[in-house]
Structure 1
Amino acid sequence: MRTSPVWNPVQYGTYADERGRPYADLVGRVRAEDVRTVVDLGCGPGGLTVTLREVWPEATIVGIDNSPPMLEAAQQYADDRLTFELGDVREWSAPAGSIDVIVTNATLQWVPEQVDLLPGFVNALRPGGWLAIQIPGNGNAPSHSILRDLAATEPYAEYAKDTSLRPDVPGPAEYIDVLSAEGCVVDAWETTYFHVLQGDNAVLEWVKGTGARPVLQSLPDDLRVQFEAEYGARLAEAYPQRDYGTLLPFRRIFAVAQKKES
């Protein structure tokens, strides 16, 4: 199992409504019927996974994540139809044709070889089954370019040089090409959400729970405080707080694929 940031469910839960909207938009495009088995790969703290019980009330749902703190938080939602397991999306597999729906939301962006995993996901689907993917596509946004630039300077670079700062991700066209080749009918698109965030230095609070976490974790305590202050100051300039809040444009990429019956 790969080394991964130690995720904080509380920090990740900041702006939960905004983070949850793409999940609902993704699942809303899955037109599956008679669903009995669902897997949520990269389920995090479970607050979104639990919503699948209402979408597919007869299904057995399994959430899988490689973060013990996230899974501990997710256990509050567990019952006889919804369970959570420790696992790495890169190592996950299921018997061929055994799953009705696979959802993976805001997870594959951390996996450089994610395209190589897609055939295995499709193989796990029954004929007519569905694969639903959503990933952030904001790697060139100021929130991330500032992070990369600052992490590359001393004294931070010594510690952050081996930090994965999110690889390039596929666009909708690449998902269509790859999943069509695996015998799927594919609907792929991108959306830029314009989140209005409340609170002081809101974008810093957002990225502390996700994109900036690997860098912040790599630094010694004293440098982490220094880095966060400098990074926060730059973010506050790039994303100024207005009377109505702080505007965060956030591009996301979606792919929903149905495996052909034959």
Structure 2
Amino acid sequence: MTLKEDWSATTYLRFEDERTRPSADLLARIPVATAGLVVDLGCGPGNSTELLGRRFPQAEAIGVDASPDMLAAARKRLPAASFIEADVATWAPERPADVIFANAVLQWLPNHAVLLPRLISLLAPGGAIAIQMPDNLDEPSHRAMREVALDPRWRERLAGASAARTTLPSLEAYYDMLRPHAAQVDVWRTTYAHPLDGAEGIADWLKATGLRPFLDPLDGGEREAFVAAYVERARRLYPALSDGKVLLRFPRLFIVATRA
């Protein structure tokens, strides 16, 4: 998986409220009062960019993403904002930003010890970078992906799928990684619990994100077979609750760092 592959805005937005909630929680912790330039890295369909615009209505807002489909949805949603197709790992603004917002994107990129200090260097003095990353690789939902990928039907082609996402270091490691480059570092972890419509609902959620490295190398019939096998495994891991729903636990790691 690379951030240059296209993503489906329609699939992603099926769970817009649930996906936007961490953005709102992250935004509330940014210690910047006013901003002239705010950047939304990995802006997707613009739901997080919209939140940034509400928080900083006087600022110029730029969304950056590598997916044309996501950017088309973002431009339709927010015609007054600027959206740029670029690799978020290397893109830089023309002038220092007051806020860099990176919601659910940096987990796809390696070498955070180099990447995150570089992003801090793109901030104006007193500016802040705000990061949220799923930290759920050890959850049953993601262990099941890796187990289904061992099926002989596709094991060889999916050998590298598990390495598509970066395994996140500890909170302590991120603090030590960023503290030499920042005046203040705030790190925390939150586990959300999302009621979904059974194992099928879990698969529908993950088709737009976590399952993509496993589904993209397969053809149409194989994708259907993979999802069916995944749903069957997930059904055993997530028993129905009293109302028929299942509860998807979703840990997320948050970082807010302020440049001196």
CA distance in 1, matches of 2:142, 2:212: 12
Per the alignment, residue 210 of structure 1 pairs with: 209
1:210 and 1:254 mapped to 2: Cα distance? 18
**Alignment partner, residue 49 of structure 2:** 49
Instruction: Decide which of 136, 139, 142 is 1:141's aligned counterpart.
Output: 139
1:151 pairs with 2:149:
yes
**Compared with structure 1, are the counterparts of its residues 143 and 46 closer, same or farther at alpha carbon in structure 2 (3 Å cutoff)?**
same
Report what 2:114 is aligned to. Answer: 116
What amino acid maps onto 1:237 in structure 2? R
Q: CA deviation at 1:240?
A: 2.3
Does the 8 Å CA contact 1:14/1:209 hold for their aligned counterparts? no
Task: Check conservation: 1:119, 1:182, Cα contact below 8 A.
Answer: yes
- Deviation string, structure 1 residues 161-184 (Cα, Å, up to 9, x no partner): 233442211232222111111133
- Residue matched to 1:76: 76
Contact 1:104–1:133, Cα closer than 8 Å, also in 2:
yes
Name the aligned partner's letter for residue 141 of structure 1.
E
Task: Give the equivalent residue in structure 2 for 1:188.
Answer: 187
In the alignment, the residues of structure 2 paired with residue 184 and residue 67 of structure 1 have an alpha-carbon distance, to the nearest angstrom, of: 33
Deviation of 1:212 (Å): 0.3
Structure 1: runs of 5 or more not aligned: none
Q: Which runs of 5+ in 2 are unaligned?
A: none
Q: In structure 2, what residue type is equivalent to 1:116? A: V
Deviations 1:136-155 (A, max 9, x none): 01110111111012213311
Q: 5 Å matches for 1:8-19? A: 8-19=8-19
Amino acid at match of 2:98: D
Q: Give the Å deviation of 1:4.
A: 4.0
Q: Is the 8 A contact 1:109 1:167 kept in 2?
A: yes
Q: How many residues align?
A: 257
The 1-side partners of 2:111 and 2:93 are apart by 19
Q: 1:1-262, aligned counterparts within 5 Å?
A: 2=2, 4-80=4-80, 82-94=81-93, 98-163=96-161, 164-198=163-197, 201-244=200-243, 245-260=245-260
Aligned counterparts of 1:200 and 1:138: Cα–Cα separation in 2: 17
TM score, norm. by length of structure 1: 0.92
Q: Does the residue aligned with 2:33 lie in a helix, a strand or coil?
A: coil
Matches of 2:3 and 2:39, distance apart in 1 = 22
Structure 2 CA distance for aligned equivalents of residues 246 and 153 of structure 1: 26
Deviations 1:191-233 (A, max 9, x none): 1111112466211111111100121111122211111111111
Q: More displaced, 39-48 or 154-163?
A: 154-163
Residues 92-127 of structure 1: CA deviation (Å, up to 9, x unaligned): 1235x7110000000011112233111111111111
Distance 2:151 2:166 in 1: 19
Q: Secondary structure at the match of 1:166?
A: coil
Structure 1 residues 112 and 209 mapped into 2: Cα distance closer, same or farther (>3 Å)? same
Q: Is the 8 A contact 2:3 2:66 kept in 1?
A: no
* Deviation (angstroms), 1:71: 0.7
d(CA) in 1 for partners of 2:235 and 2:100?
38
Q: CA deviation at 1:159?
A: 1.9
Q: Is residue 4–residue 87 contact of structure 2 (8 Å, CA) maintained in 1?
A: no
How much is the aligned-residue C-alpha RMSD, in angstroms?
A: 1.6
Change in CA separation of 1:113 and 1:179 when aligned onto 2, cut-off 3 Å: same
- Opposite residue 34 of structure 2, the aligned amino acid is D
| TM-score of the two chains, using structure 2 as the length reference | 0.93
| Native 8 Å contact 1:62 1:84 kept in 2 | yes
